Amino acid sequence: MGIVDIAPWIVLAASICGLAFAMYKFFWVKKQPEGTKEMANISAKIRKGAMAYLKRQYKTVGIFFIVMLIIICVMAAFGLLTWFVPFAFVSGGFFSGLSGFIGMKIATYANSRTANGAQNSLNKGLKVAFSSGTVMGLTVVGLGLLDISVWFIILKAVLSDPNEIMAAMLTFGMGASSMALFARVGGGIFTKAADVGADLVGKVEAGIPEDDPRNPAVIADNVGDNVGDVAGMGADLYESYVGSIISTGALATAAGLGFKGIVVPMMIAAIGIIASIIGTFFVSTKEGATQKNLLGSLRRGTYVSAILSAISAAVLIFTLLPQNTGVFWAVISGLVAGVLIGFFTEYYTSDSYKPTQKLSESSKTGSATIIIDGIALGMNSTAIPVVIVGISILVSFFAAGGGGFLATGDLSSFSLGLYGVGISAVGMLATLGITLATDAYGPVADNAGGIAEMAGLDEEVRNRTDALDSLGNTTAATGKGFAIGSAALTALALIVSYTDKIQALGGQLQLSLTNPPVLIGLFVGAMLPFLFSAFTMQAVGRAAQKIVVEVRRQFKQIKGLMEGKAEADYETCVDICTRSSLREMILPAALGILAPIVVGLVLGVNGVVGMLAGALVSGFAIAIMMANSGGAWDNAKKYIEAGNFGGKGSDNHKAAVVGDTVGDPFKDTSGPSVNILIKLLSMVSIVFAALIVKFNLVDLITGLLK
Amino acid sequence: MGIVDIAPWIVLAASICGLAFAMYKFFWVKKQPEGTKEMANISAKIRKGAMAYLKRQYKTVGIFFIVMLIIICVMAAFGLLTWFVPFAFVSGGFFSGLSGFIGMKIATYANSRTANGAQNSLNKGLKVAFSSGTVMGLTVVGLGLLDISVWFIILKAVLSDPNEIMAAMLTFGMGASSMALFARVGGGIFTKAADVGADLVGKVEAGIPEDDPRNPAVIADNVGDNVGDVAGMGADLYESYVGSIISTGALATAAGLGFKGIVVPMMIAAIGIIASIIGTFFVSTKEGATQKNLLGSLRRGTYVSAILSAISAAVLIFTLLPQNTGVFWAVISGLVAGVLIGFFTEYYTSDSYKPTQKLSESSKTGSATIIIDGIALGMNSTAIPVVIVGISILVSFFAAGGGGFLATGDLSSFSLGLYGVGISAVGMLATLGITLATDAYGPVADNAGGIAEMAGLDEEVRNRTDALDSLGNTTAATGKGFAIGSAALTALALIVSYTDKIQALGGQLQLSLTNPPVLIGLFVGAMLPFLFSAFTMQAVGRAAQKIVVEVRRQFKQIKGLMEGKAEADYETCVDICTRSSLREMILPAALGILAPIVVGLVLGVNGVVGMLAGALVSGFAIAIMMANSGGAWDNAKKYIEAGNFGGKGSDNHKAAVVGDTVGDPFKDTSGPSVNILIKLLSMVSIVFAALIVKFNLVDLITGLLK
């Protein structure tokens, strides 16, 4: 039995390790005291609302999955796909959803426990929140590798051709992407509708503070943090993680690396899981730690994991691919690019740096100027990540051996280079277990703050949860860097997988930029993220409008609510958010799934590749712009609240609140969903490739001209 | 002497006809009475400020032209370019600037005369303003064809190879583009800095109405309309017009159409000039006409010209290209696409339609929601133009004979198809003489309104100029459609010209989308319009800030200003706007000129093509988004001012004013400049092609690998 036969089992073992560790942490968190009865009560309400949402979301998404399943089965019956595809598709969707579900379950247990921990000390609060994040992080990577390794073991036993195996595996990527898009978009609409609605009436009209229990939308707001920032992000990163590993594996055969090339990305990921587990032990500080100590401790964990991963990856690659040791540098370039993009995200959005400080200064001349400057800041911030990704592509391409193609036109070295690009995405996401943990603890801290406020805990407690929350903003910036960077590289690998598939299907590729179908596809693709963002932003607007109406109604009709004598009807608000976000997520998701099919039917396979590339490059810029504009507005507001430029309640602050409100759907709904969109488009294209190769309008017309 | 030898002289004659007609209209306008002494006085102030700005702008731009000239001469000395290039470059810049200069000269004469005409009737006002627009329209096309025909006659006499002739002619495109970019960006910053600055202090802080003579920035604001909307637009459209004709001519030889193929686009343009002149005679109504009559009369003029052009183009093409009569359909597809994009621009931005009405309704929940919805509206509105341009590319490609390429891979039919795409851009711009006239009269009406207000004319006069102004907004929408649509098609033709040039230079093209330099170029290109927009928006912000400070100072220090007893110091405001806009235009312009050179030096020619395509597709979407968001906000505000949703002075109105202010740099600075950017990038690439083919990093590295 060679290394190639043992490797999948090692990967399976690593995934089980990850899941076991997640389970251990899960029960540790649940064992922590929940605080007062009131705190437990509020937490239960949030949990109930969140679970109710998820259940209904799964039902809605279930209908979509059944429809897609029927379509896929019909295609399989016509011989356009193998019969593994339907099952793979469902398993990808199921595990992606499950990642979100488990992450959210623990987050809704951890919120009151974090608030309670923060009653003792900052460190205690961090420990609970970070453990909850760890559950999420390791669940995502554990389930991801479980799905990959089990499928690989089964498929390898049944099919012998590595190409066929990887083609089937790519379809569970489509399941995962679809699920992720629904979760991100639905959750994103929910959370921002509740947030904007609660703020517009509660803060602005009624003048009560944030998280005030008198606000009928306050529970919906806290539920939103969980279904959007936790469940949505879990499904999203599950998809990125799985997508990068399988798309790279799919490139291995064209690169002539065979099964060894397929198992390398899996093994790098497996190493990453173990390194992440080890890294979590480095996250802890002495009692009485300051916020800076805490950040240092989180960073220590991440860096330890990254270094461990890099060293082990070197050993792995030198053993498995002794002819292609340059691939190691692709791993490093991915890791470094992820860290750098994260740093620059922080630079543009944190109020410790010039750009956001200047942005908050522009509030002096009113809301119009802070909006203009915020959009300009976001647009400005696209330049550096593009350069970083560009360098990372070039380095990994050359390092893996792609230079031969540019020198002599040799196609096998071309595939090798592209394999390197895929590997750099895997490298970027290798330590996702821990980077996601440091990212996912933020919403827990945010919720804990809400509970502290609603339960009327000491101001000191709220200050501590605020410190945790603000720390979370910093780590979230790094997390976003990884998410966006890896999305770009993964989408790239997927596009190449698509072209490989088309060639395997006997389709005619003519991918020159001057070929009209390619060009038109490029135009359409570049437009899609704009249209998609428009859909999602308008959805937030409509849903928020409904919350505004309902909150106003409750303030008017429930006697004694403002005096704190009567309780608000929280459930109706949760219900409205649930129903409208589920209805509103259909259109954007349909765009992501139908666009590749329609473009394919009209323009053929070359048009599809153009569309994928167009969506990738414009989507990358839009996603960064929206995330960074939104983040900077949020922190510019916080900077003013911290006492700069007039402080809370000043006209400048009011202008900054407008900026923050505009930024909400930017950074938490549209921006992160675009990341998923660019990968989903590729996945759908791959699944429907056989259909498009056989039938499309451009080929039909040119056929008549022959 | 064959048709090919006669044609350039016919084109020259048509251009002279156009210029003669423009001159006749120029003197007609100057002969009209200027109104009261005060009106003449104000008009003189505006003219003086505008001329002072232009003179200093030409000085600044002159330095740039000298630097570029030296670089180009050095390249010519090394044999990288022919010695015609420096002269062609300068002539393009000179005529582009001259178009703006003449258009602005007449606009600053026409403003008081329009106000005076409006004292009699709406129709009289229209007649003066439209005549001023006609001067601008026919000057742009007349000078454009003059430059083209004279150069063509000279070059054809000296050089015999059509490829060499067209290569030299493409460089005056670069001169025109550079000048246009400076004019658009500089003028755009001037006009919006003055506008935003005047509004922020005058309207919001001091509570005085728009165009109130007590506002120290009021003259600067009116100067801005001329230097931005008139001079900037003139230079811009000169560049589009010339660019589309020469880039299509450059594609003719590869398509095997020889000199006949080169003269066809010139001849279509010549026909368009005559048709435009005829069209202007259909623009007139009876006394006592309503606004609707006026719009009908403007439309009649445009449609008559379009139909005349189409019929003559058919005769022309059936005579000159009897083997390729399908090219005629390319002309039609361009004309139709331009009209359709214009219509949808109007649909999304006019308050007669749902989108803008709904947008003004979202002001009910405050400025944040109207901003979110306005951005979403702009993003949404990108979809239809992309589809229209896509169909237009496909139709013109197939109609001109490109289908053979897709069917059999035949390269000569590929070039034929691309020639068709170029022709559709020429078709779209053929009637520019009259479409620009209907577009350029808007700022004149706007200025006339300002003069009516400042000179304290009857309210009825202001109402009439407002009616003219609002009519101008509608026709401007159509104009923008032509500008954006033709920019996309022209840029496309330029990209193909670039690839032809690279092949002629012996460069290695590998333009597949999966080739890493192409892909990285695509990423960089898609990012450039974002970065460019950020630069221009931030420039407006900084310049407006200075005006705010100055206006505040004058209100404080000039005794009796608010009571109308003392005169404001208008000149200082004009001077500040001039200085800051000239300084601020450097960085964005430098980006447009340096990006292709830097990308070329690093990634080589394939990277450059990727960059050009990326900038084209993302720039197209951004330009539409910014133009339409801005237009819709402007009209949403006007819709509220017309008495809907609370009317003037209500909270809703205040929210809408914030939207309008955000939209100002969107629609008048960044959006239209992006149109020029995407063409300038191609022009610069073409001029520096020989350098990049000889030296770049990627080729250097791969050379070492050989």
3-state secondary structure at position A449: helix
Average pLDDT over every residue of A512-536? 95
Contacts of A377 (CB under 8 A, 6+ apart): A348, A355, A356, A359, A628, A629, A632, B534
Question: pLDDT by residue (tens digit) across A412-437?
Answer: 888 899 999 999 999 999 999 998 99
**Nearest CA-CA partner of B596 in B665, B538, B642, B528:** B528
All residues of chain B having their beta carbon less than 8 Å from the beta carbon of residue A701 are 398, 403, 406
Q: Is the pLDDT of residue A288 over 70?
A: no
When mean pLDDT is compared across A48-52, A282-286, B87-91, the lowest value belongs to: A282-286
All residues of chain B having their beta carbon less than 8 Å from the beta carbon of residue A393 are 516, 519-520
Chain A residue with CA closest to B389: the answer is A520
Average pLDDT over every residue of B313-338? 91
3-state secondary structure B514-572: CCHHHHHHHHHHHHHHHHHHHHHHHHHHHHHHHHHHHHHHHHHHCCCCCCCCCCCCHHH
Question: pLDDT by residue (tens digit) across B327-346?
Answer: 999 999 998 898 889 889 98
Q: Is the pLDDT of residue A479 over 80?
A: no
Residue A547 Cα distances to A447, A540, A544, A601, B194, angstroms? 20, 11, 5, 41, 40
Question: pLDDT by residue (tens digit) across A589-603?
Answer: 999 999 999 999 999
Confidence (pLDDT) at A459: 85
CB contact under 8 A, A372 and B404: no
Per-residue pLDDT band for B288 (boundaries 50, 70, 90) equals low
CB contact under 8 A, B541 and A372: yes
In angstroms, what separates the C-alpha of A555 from chain B's closest C-alpha? 17
Q: How far apart are CA A562 and CA B28, in angstroms?
A: 71
CB contact under 8 A, A534 and B617: no
Question: pLDDT by residue (tens digit) across B602-628?
Answer: 999 999 999 999 999 999 999 999 999
More confidently predicted of A283 and B187 = B187
Q: Are B637 and B660 in contact (CB under 8 A)?
A: yes
CB contact under 8 A, B519 and A613: yes
Q: Is the pLDDT of residue B379 over 90?
A: yes
When mean pLDDT is compared across A294-298, A567-571, A590-594, B20-24, the lowest value belongs to: A294-298
**Nearest CA-CA partner of B104 in B223, B246, B245, B244:** B223
Chain B residue with CA closest to A547: the answer is B365
Which of B379, B540, B658 minimises the CB distance to A534?
B379
CB contact under 8 A, A541 and B408: no
Q: How far apart are CA A291 and CA A600, in angstroms?
A: 52
Which of A200, A414, A614 minimises the CB distance to B365?
A200
Give which of A375, A421, A629 to mutate to test B binding, by max B Cβ within 10 Å: A375
Q: Could you list the residue range(s) of the whole structural domain that residue A148 is in?
A: 3-705
Q: Is the pLDDT of residue B476 over 80?
A: no
3-state secondary structure B42-71: HHHHHHHHHHHHHHHHHHHHHHHHHHHHHH
All residues of chain A having their beta carbon less than 8 Å from the beta carbon of residue B662 are 368, 371-372, 375
CB contact under 8 A, B620 and A523: yes
Question: pLDDT by residue (tens digit) across B633-661?
Answer: 999 998 998 888 888 888 899 999 999 99
Chain B residue with CA closest to A420: the answer is B516
Confidence (pLDDT) at A387: 96
Per-residue pLDDT band for B352 (boundaries 50, 70, 90) equals confident
All residues of chain B having their beta carbon less than 8 Å from the beta carbon of residue A377 are 534
Q: How far apart are CA A674 and CA A21, in angstroms?
A: 32
**Nearest CA-CA partner of B528 in B324, B368, B702, B685:** B685
Token output for B659: 């939207």
Question: pLDDT by residue (tens digit) across A47-78?
Answer: 998 988 888 889 989 998 999 899 989 988 98
The percent of residues above 90 in pLDDT, for chain A, comes to: 47
User: Is the ipTM reported for this complex over the cut 0.90?
Assistant: yes
Count of beta carbons in the 10 Å neighbourhood of residue A210: 15
Backbone conformation region of residue A645, classed left if phi is above 0, alpha if psi is from -120 to 50, else beta: left
Q: How far apart are CA B287 and CA A647, in angstroms?
A: 60
Q: How far apart are CA A199 and CA A206, in angstroms?
A: 9
Q: Which residue type is seen at A508?
A: Q
Q: Is the pLDDT of residue A1 over 70?
A: no
CB contact under 8 A, A407 and B703: yes
The angle at the Cα of A657, spanning A346 to A223, to the nearest 5 degrees, equals 75
CB contact under 8 A, A371 and B662: yes
Per-residue pLDDT band for A382 (boundaries 50, 70, 90) equals very high
The domain tally of chain B equals 1
Q: Which residue type is seen at B318?
A: F
Question: pLDDT by residue (tens digit) across B9-20?
Answer: 999 999 999 999
Confidence (pLDDT) at A466: 83
Confidence (pLDDT) at B233: 83
The percent of residues above 90 in pLDDT, for chain B, comes to: 47
Q: Is the pLDDT of residue A318 over 80?
A: yes
When mean pLDDT is compared across A13-22, A482-491, A608-617, B417-426, the lowest value belongs to: A482-491
Which of A522, A658, A706 minimises the CB distance to B367?
A658
Count of beta carbons in the 10 Å neighbourhood of residue A239: 35
Per-residue pLDDT band for A206 (boundaries 50, 70, 90) equals confident
Per-residue pLDDT band for B1 (boundaries 50, 70, 90) equals low
Backbone conformation region of residue B590, classed left if phi is above 0, alpha if psi is from -120 to 50, else beta: alpha
In angstroms, what separates the C-alpha of A634 from chain B's closest C-alpha? 14
**Nearest CA-CA partner of A230 in A447, A413, A433:** A447
Residue A236 Cα distances to A179, A271, A371, A426, B684, angstroms? 8, 22, 29, 15, 41
Distance from the Cα of residue A275 to its chain's centroid: 21
Contacts of B330 (CB under 8 A, 6+ apart): B395, B396, B399, B400, B420, B421, B423, B424, B427
Q: Is the pLDDT of residue B259 over 70?
A: yes
All residues of chain B having their beta carbon less than 8 Å from the beta carbon of residue A613 are 513, 519, 522
In angstroms, what separates the C-alpha of A697 from chain B's closest C-alpha? 11
Contacts of A674 (CB under 8 A, 6+ apart): A529, A532, A533, A619, A622, A623, A626
Question: pLDDT by residue (tens digit) across B383-398?
Answer: 999 999 999 999 999 9
In angstroms, what separates the C-alpha of B310 from chain A's closest C-alpha? 25
Q: Is the pLDDT of residue A470 over 70?
A: yes
CB contact under 8 A, B408 and A511: no
Average pLDDT over every residue of A518-529? 97
CB contact under 8 A, B541 and A369: yes
In angstroms, what separates the C-alpha of A701 from chain B's closest C-alpha? 8
Q: Is the pLDDT of residue A621 over 90?
A: yes
Per-residue pLDDT band for A607 (boundaries 50, 70, 90) equals very high
All residues of chain B having their beta carbon less than 8 Å from the beta carbon of residue A621 are 526-527, 530, 618
CB contact under 8 A, B613 and A702: no
All residues of chain B having their beta carbon less than 8 Å from the beta carbon of residue A628 are none
CB contact under 8 A, B406 and A698: yes
CB contact under 8 A, A658 and B620: no
Chain A residue with CA closest to B395: the answer is A516
Q: Is the pLDDT of residue A253 over 80?
A: yes
Question: pLDDT by residue (tens digit) across A633-644?
Answer: 999 998 998 888
Q: Are A117 and A124 in contact (CB under 8 A)?
A: yes
Size of interface A-B (CB pairs under 8 A): 264
Q: Is the pLDDT of residue B289 over 80?
A: no
Tokens 């403003």, located at residue? B111
Which of B367, B386, B524 minimises the CB distance to A386?
B524
Q: How far apart are CA B90 and CA B80, in angstroms?
A: 18
Confidence (pLDDT) at B596: 96
Confidence (pLDDT) at A350: 87
Which of A196, A516, A620 minimises the CB distance to B402?
A516
Confidence (pLDDT) at A692: 93
Confidence (pLDDT) at A287: 65
